[in-house]
Every structure is written in C-alpha cells, then in structure tokens.
Structure 1
Amino acid sequence: MLKSELMSMDVRALVMFCTVAQELHFAKAAERLHMSQPALSHQIKRLEQTVGASLLTRTTRSVRLTPAGTVFRRLAEELCNEIEQMVKRTRQAVSGEAGSISIGLTTTAACSPLAEALYRFRQSRPGIEIDLQELNSVQMQGALRLKSIDVALMRPAAFDADMAVREIYREPMYVAMRPEDDLALRPRLDLQDLSGRQLIGYRTDASPYFRHLVHQAFAHAKTIPSFAQESVLPTLLTLVEAGVGIAVIPESATVSRGRTLIFRKLPQRHELTACIVMTSLRGRQHPLVAALASALRQ
C-alpha cells in the first residue's frame, strides 16, 4: 500500500471495522458507535476500496468476515490497541506519570539522604524509568546542554543565565581525622582549633564549590589554614586515612569511612553549611522536574 493510500485511512475507519467485526451486525455496531447504519456501511465500503479487498460478506440475514477480513481484523485491533497505548503514555508523560528522566548527581549527593528520597520517588511512580549518572558538579552544565541528562543534583556553581536552579538540601560540615589524632579527644571543634594543622584541601578544577566554601569559612574565622595537598572526594578521605592531614568535609561524605576515620561536627553556621541544588536547562523543563524537587525536599 502506498503512503498516499495510507493517508486516506484514518483510525476512525479501523475502529468502525473492528466494531462491525465484533458484532457481525451493522445495526448493533452503528448503535455502539453512535452513528447511523447507512453512514457506517458507507465508511466500511470506503475502507474496503482503500485496502483493495472485500473484508465482509453481507447478506440480508448475516454479516461474516472474509479470509482477508479475518486477517485485517487481527491486525487492525493490534494497531488500535497500540495507538490507544501511544496516546495514553504520551498523556502520562506530559502529566509526569510515565516516561523517563535522566538525573546527574555528584558523589556526595549520592551518599546523602537524597538517595533515599530518590528511592521513594521511584517507588511512587512505577511507570517512570529513572537513569542515574554520576558526574562531577563541574561537568553538569555541559551535560544539561548536551541533553545527556535532564536534571542535575549538584553543588552550587557559577551558573550561566540558561540554567534554572533551586536549592533542595543543606548539610553541616565535619572535620575528618584518624582515630589517634589529638583532636579526636575533643567532643566539639571549631575552625580555630585547626590552626597549625596540615589539611587536605579541594582542587580548584574539580571541586571549586568546596574549595571556596572552606577558604571563606577560614577567612570568616580569621584563621589561616595550612594545606598539605589538594584532592577531591572520595580520594580526599583516603589521604586522611593515610595520615597526610585532616579535612573539612560535608556530612554526606562521612557515611563511607565511618570505620576508619573519626568525624567531628563543626558549628552549624551559614559559612559552614553546604548545599545541593537541582539544576535544569531553562526552556527545556522536564515534566517531572517539579514533582522530583518536591519529593527531594520532603
């Protein structure tokens, strides 16, 4: 069948034929379709002309499917069901009940309570396929523009104007150290207590957010830090385990090394609070972004 012939066949004609094939009675089929019997007969004849085959055998007392009609009925019903599912799933995707969403998340975001919130979100929407991609926060804006992810759970950055950003999680900062460190004996610590100690800092290229946060916090405390080395999470914690120095880390990073390191919480002040934000590309808002943000904030 040529494309031009297919264009003359609409879904309504298939539904009409399937109804007649089920009832094998034009009057009953017309009643179900809320149309007149002559109009239904006319549409079936047009369909047969388009197909190029007789689909029904009609007598004054009965209607039967021809062999071609039997084949056409099976395929037409399958097609109608697929079209129905296509429309249903498209509407569900628009309403956020179906479809897929790709989420980029940082290592520390993956270790935070947001992971449990993502699980609850997945369980509440079984029709949604969620693809999680672990990325560095520095990579997130590029991934959003390339459309390799729909939304990013990341640390704050110098965002461009095409990024829509909303804060979804805040967490305190901790000092990570080996168990035998003298500081481990203190129940409470502040940044002034770290004066003169060798610290593991954050690399500018890979962790600009934490580098800025830590340096600003020390400046606010009027304390000059001494950095032995710079790294990124979670490698930074390995350096602490190796005895290179101590480190100021977010609470979410404490869950991975609880058996080998000691963590002391720093005072929960604004300059010692880390954030995770949800970021998406303006003008390309995924239907699930609002629902996801709401779920992650709970």
Structure 2
Amino acid sequence: MTNTDIMFLDDRLLACFCAAAEELHFGRAAARLFMSQPPFSQQIKRLEAMVGAPLFVRTTRSVRLTPAGEVMYQHARTIAGQTRVMLRAVRQAAEGEGGSLVVGIAPTAAYSPVADALYRYRVAHPEVTLDLREMNSVTMEAMLRARTIDVAVMRPMSMDPEFDRFEVFREPMMLALRRDHRWAGRRRVSVDQAATLPLIGYSQQASPYFRGMLQAMFADAGKAPRFVQDSVIPTVLTLVEIGVGAAIVPRSLARLRSESLAFVPLQDPSRAMATIVVASLHGHANLAVDHFRAALRQADRKPAPG
C-alpha cells in the first residue's frame, strides 16, 4: 500500500456522501444535514477527488450512484454501523453496563447461595462479559493488586486498607461423617463431642481462614482436638469418605457428598460461622465492579437454621 492509498475520511464527508446516496437529491441531502447546497456539493466533489472516481451521475433532473458510488455506499453503511456499535460499547463500558468483568471466586463460594447472586447479575447485565476464575482466597489480594482480576468473592483474609470489602454470606459449620458412622443419624453434635473424633484439619498455607476458625472454636470450648491430617476443601470430604477421619466444614459443602456422607449440625452454630466477602481495589476504574458489588449485596447474609 502506498501513501496515496492512505486517506482520512472524516465523519462529515461520510455523512454528506450517505445523505446524498440515500436522498439522491443534493438539495434534500444538504437540508438533512442543515447545510446549504453549495458547500454540500463542494464536500461531495472533495470526496470524489480523494477516492479518484466519480460517485454520482448528476443531471439537472436526477442524481444516481455510479458503480463506484454503489460500492462506496455499501462500505460507508458498514462503517456507520460499526461506528454505532463501537460507540454503544464504549458508552456501556463507561457506565458499567458493558465490557468485561474478571471475578476471582473461592471454590467454597461457588457452592454457596452466592452463585444465585451471580446468576442475577448476569441476567441484569447481559452485555458484560463475566469471566469467573476459581482460585484460592490466599492469592486474591495479589491478583487484585495486579489487576489480574477486578473483584474477588472470597473467604475473609487480612487485607490492606486500599481494598474495599464487605460480607455477602454467612453459614454455619457442620460435622461431616461417613454415613455408616455411629453419629451420622444425630440431630446435633457438640463441639466437645467433635473434639473426641479423629479430625481432618486445614492447611495453614492454603486454608488459613478455616484453620484459624477451628482453632478458635476448640480453644473457646477448652478442648484440644486430634487432627490426623491437614488438607483443603473439597479434598477434606474425600478423606472423610475413605475413613481417615471426620471434618468440620461449611454447610454449603453438603451439596457435594450428600449421598455418601452425613452432615450433622453443631450444637451451638454461632460458635463457628463461615463468611464470604466481596473485595475490590479502592478507586478502581471499572464501573461494572460497582454494579457487581450491588448485586451481591442482595445475597442472603442470614445464617440458615440448623
């Protein structure tokens, strides 16, 4: 392509051409653009000089497109349509109603009622491309800071003040047992009783939130539990299933192994309530984050009975 093949067609030139091609009358086309006819005709001549071909056949009685003009009009319509689409997408992104939103979500959050709030958000904002990425809550602060994700749906972690965070869901912890365990049919189990069982604990590196919760719960009860192995969710359920021990897990995980495991409520569920929070970088530029946060504020935050 040579430099003579490169030209800049401003929107005014294209508007004049399209008006003339659609009206096939220079007077009406000029009036449509609130112009007088002489400067309008000059614009058309300028455009024809730029493209190097006549675009209209003009007589005293009629105006029609030349074959070159027909081709020009088809392309001009495409450009106009693409411009409208571009401007609509830009405005939607500026208003948080379009563009993309990258959400980091903790595995356990995916099993909770927060998933219903995600669905409601997608329905309310169909033009936003929602990219869900499952990841450990421990890594999310760094991901937010690096802007790899826009918002995090996570278990609570210690975070710097530069992050905005609020709670969206809370649920009781339950004792997970094999269905053939002697306690599987109980209506409730006390923390003291749970401490007598071999238990699957949580990895300090991967699951510090749940590890700290269990430590605080047993310390409050004055009990020293026997943890036989540390793991992460949902692997803890597999370890329970193969008979390694019991585990104390958030209630929403009962969806995963309802046939092979029994989930027994703790005697005093208020001792250990697992929460899910939404976090984002303060002063972010993506307005879709604000709409997402508002949608998740509607998630059920009340602990369910049991």
TM-score scaled to structure 1, two decimals? 0.92
Q: Distance in 2 between matches of 1:219 and 1:36?
A: 87
1:104·1:151 contact (CA, 8 Å) conserved in 2?
yes
Higher helix proportion: 1
Return 46-55 or 227-236, whichever deviates more: 46-55
Secondary structure at the aligned position of 2:7 is classed as helix
Report what 2:241 is aligned to: 241
Deviation at 1:286, TM superposition (A): 2.4
The 1:185/1:252 distance shift into structure 2, 3 A limit, reads: closer
Q: Distance in 2 between matches of 1:42 and 1:19?
A: 14
Report what 2:197 is aligned to: 197
1:92·1:98 contact (CA, 8 Å) conserved in 2?
yes
Q: Distance in 2 between matches of 1:184 and 1:284?
A: 48
Deviation at 1:297, TM superposition (A): 2.9
Structure 1: segments with no counterpart, 5+ residues: none
Report what 1:282 is aligned to: 282
Q: Distance in 2 between matches of 1:253 and 1:138?
A: 19
Report what 2:112 is aligned to: 112
1:5·1:50 contact (CA, 8 Å) conserved in 2?
no
State the AA in 1 paired with 2:70. Answer: T
State the AA in 2 paired with 1:165. Answer: R
Return 201-210 or 217-226, whichever deviates more: 217-226
Deviation at 1:92, TM superposition (A): 1.4
1:184-239 Cα offsets, whole Å, 9 max, x none, are 34312231222322111100111011111111122222222221110001110111
Return 28-37 or 253-262, whichever deviates more: 28-37
Deviation at 1:173, TM superposition (A): 1.0
Superposition RMSD on alpha carbons, in Å?
A: 2.0
TM-score scaled to structure 2, two decimals? 0.89
The 1:226/1:258 distance shift into structure 2, 3 A limit, reads: same
Deviation at 1:180, TM superposition (A): 3.1
Report what 1:262 is aligned to: 262
Report what 2:229 is aligned to: 229
1:165·1:278 contact (CA, 8 Å) conserved in 2?
yes
State the AA in 1 paired with 2:67. Answer: P
Deviation at 1:52, TM superposition (A): 2.9
Deviation at 1:30, TM superposition (A): 1.6
Return 241-250 or 135-144, whichever deviates more: 135-144
State the AA in 1 paired with 2:269. Answer: Q
State the AA in 2 paired with 1:51. Answer: V
Report what 1:100 is aligned to: 100
Return 9-18 or 95-104, whichever deviates more: 95-104
2:195·2:218 contact (CA, 8 Å) conserved in 1?
no
Q: Distance in 1 between matches of 2:181 and 2:4?
A: 78
Deviating above 6 A after TM superposition, structure 1's stretches of 4 or more consecutive aligned residues are none
Q: Distance in 2 between matches of 1:27 and 1:75?
A: 24
Alignment length (residue pairs)? 296
Secondary structure at the aligned position of 2:296 is classed as helix
1:157·1:209 contact (CA, 8 Å) conserved in 2?
yes
Q: Distance in 1 between matches of 2:289 and 2:219?
A: 37
Identity of aligned residues (%): 46
Is 2:165 the partner of 1:165?
A: yes
Return 232-241 or 26-35, whichever deviates more: 26-35
1:168·1:293 contact (CA, 8 Å) conserved in 2?
no
1:18-33 to 2 correspondences below 5 Å: 18-33=18-33
Return 24-33 or 217-226, whichever deviates more: 217-226
